[in-house]
Structure 1
Amino acid sequence: MVNDSTSKEAYLFAYHKCVKAGKLTGKTMIKLLKWAVVKGWNKISASNTNRHGKQRIKQLIRKDQGVTSVDVSKTELRDFQKVARKYGVDFAVVKHLNEKPPVYSVFFKAKDQDAITDVIRAYTQKKLMKEQRPSLLEHLHKLKEKVASAPRKVIHRAKEKVR
């Protein structure tokens, strides 16, 4: 993908230079090739080193820092990814195909071990908070009962005749 965009840019650059000059000379061709090589190398090197957050397993392994993994179920995966992005950890998600309830392995760089422990701690804390949170429907039913049992104010509506 990087090479496609680089070749497209090189083609457009050559086209504009040829239109300006009227013909493609040796010097123009050398400038064009130098420009394409420099531009292409910058993009390729930047694409490998600057990736953060969720990525493919191959990209994570290419960083040559080793990987560790944690198994997560599908229902927990989304929250886990949010917390991992919040902590700026590089990770890759792989689905186990042979297990019927889907189980995912989340791979991290081994270098981020401290951040991984923080991510897991924050995730478990978030999950416990969700479980301990009182039900909103139960609270709503209690309030309805309280309103129903409260005495109602009687309003007398009578028209007064004024002369």
Structure 2
Amino acid sequence: MQEEVSQKSMAFIIQTGKMTGKVFLQAIEKYLAQERQRRQLNARDKALHPAYKGRMTIREMMKERSGLANIEIHDEHIHDFERIARRYGIEYAIKKERDKTPPHYLVFFRGRDTDVLQTAFSEFVKKRLKVQERPSLRDKLQQLRQQHKDRATKIPEKVQRKEIVR
């Protein structure tokens, strides 16, 4: 890897009648000017359209001076909400309220993201309700065991013990 980095080179294509040091210097200056201009455009684009950052701290969110709103979540499975928020591209910050016994979380987000956050939050609620409705795997196995025992008692002794007579 180190060799690749140290051996990188540039290719200049210059049309000239006679290659002199002056022509070569002008070509390099022109290239550097274009590179500076490209970097300035990229910096301006980044300033106008900041990259999605996902989870942030509250201080980072307040740096832009945009209005913050919050939602209180009482569910301890906050990681499900984080996955959904990342999928929707929401910039958010989570603060846990330590003074309450069941964990309460405050989710801060930008005021302009309210519509997207409502969609993400409704998906989170649906997912949590779906998980609560679904019985656990252990309960299902226990029910299947009980059904099997019930069936085994209904089958007559004769059928349970088939013996081959020779």
TM-score by length of 1: 0.63
Matching of residue 39 in structure 1 with residue 38 in structure 2: yes
Partners of 1:53 and 1:84 within 8 A in 2? no
- The CA deviation string for residues 120-159 of structure 1, in whole angstroms up to 9 with x for no partner, is 2221222122122222211211111221232263321234
Residues 89 and 63 of structure 1: CA distance in aligned 2, closer, same or farther (over 3 Å): farther
What's the CA shift for 1:72?
4.6
Secondary structure of 2:77's counterpart equals helix
- Any unmatched runs of 5+ in structure 2? none
CA distance in 2, matches of 1:154, 1:28: 96
Bigger helix fraction: 1
Report matched runs for 1:68-147 at 5 Å: 68-72=69-73, 75-86=76-87, 88-95=88-95, 99=98, 105-147=106-148
Match of 1:16 among 7, 10, 18: 10
Residues 134 and 115 of structure 1: CA distance in aligned 2, closer, same or farther (over 3 Å): same
Quick one: which amino acid aligns to residue 84 of structure 1? Answer: A
Partners of 1:93 and 1:107 within 8 A in 2? yes
Partners of 1:89 and 1:108 within 8 A in 2? no
What's the CA shift for 1:103?
6.3
Partners of 1:83 and 1:119 within 8 A in 2? yes
Partners of 1:89 and 1:116 within 8 A in 2? no
Residues 37 and 66 of structure 1: CA distance in aligned 2, closer, same or farther (over 3 Å): farther
Count of residue correspondences: 144
What's the CA shift for 1:90?
2.3
CA distance in 1, matches of 2:73, 2:37: 43
- Any unmatched runs of 5+ in structure 1? 1-7
Bigger Cα displacement from structure 2, 75-84 vs 99-108? 99-108
Secondary structure of 1:16's counterpart equals coil
Percent identity between matched residues is: 16
RMSD after superposition: 3.8
Matching of residue 29 in structure 1 with residue 28 in structure 2: yes
- The CA deviation string for residues 92-120 of structure 1, in whole angstroms up to 9 with x for no partner, is 32555x84788654332211212222222
